[in-house]
Amino acid sequence: GETVVSEKGIGMLIPVFSIVFLVLANRAIKKDEDLVKSVDRLR
């Protein structure tokens, strides 16, 4: 029975982790874009 409970718990956590990962990825992408823009300005 414990395995079924853990599988349900993981199923509930996967969407949360995916959302957090997407938010962090979007922030990292924005930072990279800002860095590229700042480098282009220096040129």
pLDDT score of 22: 96
Query: The domain containing residue 22 runs over which residues?
Result: 1-43
pLDDT score of 5: 67
How high is the mean pLDDT in each 10-residue block of the chain (43 residues)? 72 89 96 92 83
- Per the structure, the count of domains in the chain is 1
For residue 38, how many other CB atoms are within 10 A of its CB?
A: 9
User: How is residue 4 annotated by DSSP?
Assistant: H
**pTM score:** 0.56
pLDDT score of 11: 83
Distance CA 11, CA 36 (A): 38
